[in-house]
Homo-oligomer: A and B are copies of this chain.
Amino acid sequence: MSTPMNNLGIVKRNIARADKAAVDKLSRFGVATIHEAMGRVGLMHPYMRPIYPDAQVCGTAVTVLLQPGDNWMLHVAAEQLQPGDVVVAACTVDNTDGFFGDLLATSFRARGALGLIIDGGVRDVKDLTEMKFPVFSRAISARGTVKATLGSVNIPVVVANAVVNPGDVVVADVDGVVVVPRELVGAVADASQKREDNEEAKRQKFREGVLGLDIYGMREPLAAAGLEYVED
């Protein structure tokens, strides 16, 4: 099905991954912090949810494009995995089938992968939870898949409305999933640290009862925008 006109039926073997040290540094921060540090970009749609409440993961993306009801390319992707990778799987259409279960998780983990982000369904959730294998998905579904139609591995994909390039870093926790472009990981980690330092000071003020109105100097712009206080 691959033609010069599309990226279907292709596996890219050699991808540039984000710098290991930078990824480690980034892994200390939550998704909300990283998203803000980047200037409020990079988030997937909030329908992506963890399969267990405290799932979290940070790693370099090996991307997969799946066809609906077909998990062939997840097996192809397994061979391309390196320690520290996270599999990031798109599907050509909305599909909630159970593309992934405990066998593939065992395989991915044996290759050093840290988790899965999938715009589709997963199953064997009890086993995955016991394995502490973090998965963020659009659905949980027992429905099995076939192995009949080609997709691709390590091409740019759109997952839950976010573009992911192979080698980018994905970070996921209970607040959602954020994508950090490969070449920005170090800078985003620094900006995240700065933001967190800054937040701690504010948190202390809030704890003492100081209002955001005063901490952020909002009273004047609110008045300028026309906010009126009425007594009754």
Contacts and interface: CB of A to CB of B under 8 A. Distances in A.
Residue with the greatest number of chain B CB neighbours at <10 A, chosen from A14, A149, A216: A149
A43 to B, nearest CB: 5
A187 to B, nearest CB: 6
A125 B50 CA distance: 12
Interface bin, chain A:
35 or more
When all copies of this chain in the complex are counted, the total is 6
Interface in A180-232: 184, 187-188, 191, 199, 202-203, 206-209, 211-213, 216, 218, 221-222, 225-232
A226 B14 contact: no
Contacts of A206: 103-104, 106-107, 110
A143 to B, nearest CB: 5
A3 B216 CA distance: 21
Interface string A65-104: 0011110101110110000000000001111111001111
Contact of A141 (B6, B43, B231): B43
Contacts of A158: 158, 161-163
Contact of A227 (B76, B121, B173, B203): B76
